[in-house]
Amino acid sequence: MRFIGALLFLSSLSAQAQEFPKDFTGHWKGELAWYQMGKRDPQKVAMQLQILATDTANQYTWQIVYGKPGQDVRPYILKPVDTAKGHWLIDERNGIVLHLYWIGGKCCSSFTVQNSTISNCYWIEGGKMMVEFMTTSAKPVDTTGGTGKDIPAVNNYAIKSYQKAVLIR
């Protein structure tokens, strides 16, 4: 009976809502698999994400490293916009600012750059950080439907690539 009670207690702990970004802080490491349209096998690259509190209230580092340490370093800053609504910013410190939204237990963003729309999500599952990026064309490959008032026009977009990483502290 105690064993079942302990299992129920542990499962309730793992099901508790996470707090962003507090529960995401740390130095995360793993491998990113990058699947590209028309290629069978993914390109694999080491990935690190370091999220740490800064001296500025409610701001955090959001540093991504691809490849070997020092190879491709992206030192961003995570800033709050409206934490009650789960709205944050990633400041790339070069004039580019990306909006992040804490929704459904995931931190998600979507933006368009150079004819590609990139949607991404970060979340913690089983103590590991899951990272996904989906890149689509920014321009539709075609539009279907739109033939009547009950049939709306539907734009279709090419999927260019999908990236997935599992990171551990």
In three-state form (DSSP H/G/I as H, E/B as E, the rest C), the secondary structure along 43-69 is: EEEEEEEEEEECCCCCCEEEEEEECCC
CA–CA separation, 145 and 111 (whole Å): 26
59 in a structural domain: yes
Residue 138 has pLDDT above 70, yes or no: yes
159 in a structural domain: yes
Residue given tokens 């370091």 in the structure block: 50
Helix (H) or strand (E) holding 116: strand 116-125
Mean pLDDT, residues 27-36: 98
CA–CA separation, 106 and 122 (whole Å): 6
68 in a structural domain: yes
Helix (H) or strand (E) holding 8: helix 2-15
Residue 130 has pLDDT above 60, yes or no: yes
23 in a structural domain: yes
27 in a structural domain: yes
As for how many domains the chain has, the answer is 1
46 near 66, Cβ under 8 Å?
yes
126 in a structural domain: yes
Domain that holds residue 116: 18-168
Whether omega before 21 lies within 30 degrees of 0, making that bond cis, reads yes
What confidence score (pLDDT) does residue 31 get?
98
Domain CATH number, residue 164: 2.40.128.20
Q: Side chain identity at 51, as an amino acid letter? A: I
CA–CA separation, 128 and 112 (whole Å): 28
4 in a structural domain: no
9 in a structural domain: no
The answer to whether the pTM exceeds 0.75 is: yes
pLDDT tens-digit series, residues 86-98: 999 999 999 999 9
Residue 7 has pLDDT above 50, yes or no: no
